[in-house]
Amino acid sequence: MEHELWFTALLNQLLAGPVTGLLNLLGLPPESPAHPIPNYIAMQVLVAGIIMVLLAIVRSRLSVDRPGKLQQGMELLVEGLGSQAEEIIGHGGRQFLPVLVTLGMFIFLSNVLGVIPTFETPTDQIYVTAGCALAALVYYHYWGFRHHGVFGYIRTFMGPMMAISWLMLPIETVSHLARGLSLSVRLWANMVAGHNISLIFMALVPLAVPVVFEGLHIFVGLLQAYIFVLLTMVYLAGAVSEEH
């Protein structure tokens, strides 16, 4: 069994009974009934908790005349992504902002959590990034169906000419599935590569040098979270665009 982090051990002590019961009910019995929660799920729970606590603090201190540092930072984030969404999706792009900002914050915090000792990066497991990509995929298809109607949205998959629609439909379907694959694999591979580089340099020079690569890792984590949100925006823009 893998090494269990202290937060995972805490969660397992508190919730092992109900989680094992739930998994048995679903027909997926865990390998060890006393430790059903793996590290990456515990870290995801932690990240979700951090986001909720952070937003609760911002919410309780919200003020128009004297905004605090935290509020200004959050406003910068929301404003920046909002103007980006307006630019890419066009008018009405701001209605997607809640999901986009949540995705961005979740992925960024997940990426940099591994820098803190005794924690792990959940996004270096393919399950986690595939979950994020699936959420983005389902979300933009939902908006496509909602915007164009069921048959209208399927028609956008068929291309401009009905004569070649039998050819376009499979091609477009595969390309949409490949988007999910590329979103998840890109994030996962970046995180795995970042950790491997740190480990290799730790083996070569155990002093001071790996710190540089941890800094690089934080930068890459920020960039990958931004790219993930940006690509989700581009896909959303494609799903709700009017022409065709």
Binding interface with another protein (CB under 8 A): 84, 87-88, 182, 185-186, 188-190, 192-193, 226-227, 230-231, 234
| φ, ψ at 242 (rounded to 5°) | -90, -35
Pick the closer one to another protein by CB: 42 or 136.
Answer: 136
CA angle 223, 130, 216 (to 5 degrees): 25
Rounded to the nearest whole angstrom, what is the least distance from the CB of residue 48 to another protein in the complex?
A: 26
In whole angstroms, how close is the CB of 201 to another protein at the nearest point? 17
Distance CA 196, CA 161 (A): 49
20 phi, psi to nearest 5 deg: -65, -40
**Identity of the residue, 155 or 186, whose beta carbon is nearer to another protein in the bound complex:** 186
Q: Least separation, in Å, of the C-beta of 40 and another protein?
A: 17
The distance of closest approach from Cβ of residue 209 to another protein in the complex, given in angstroms and rounded to an integer, is 21
Closest CA to 50 of 114, 109, 118, 138: 109
Tally Cβ neighbours within 10 Å of residue 176.
17
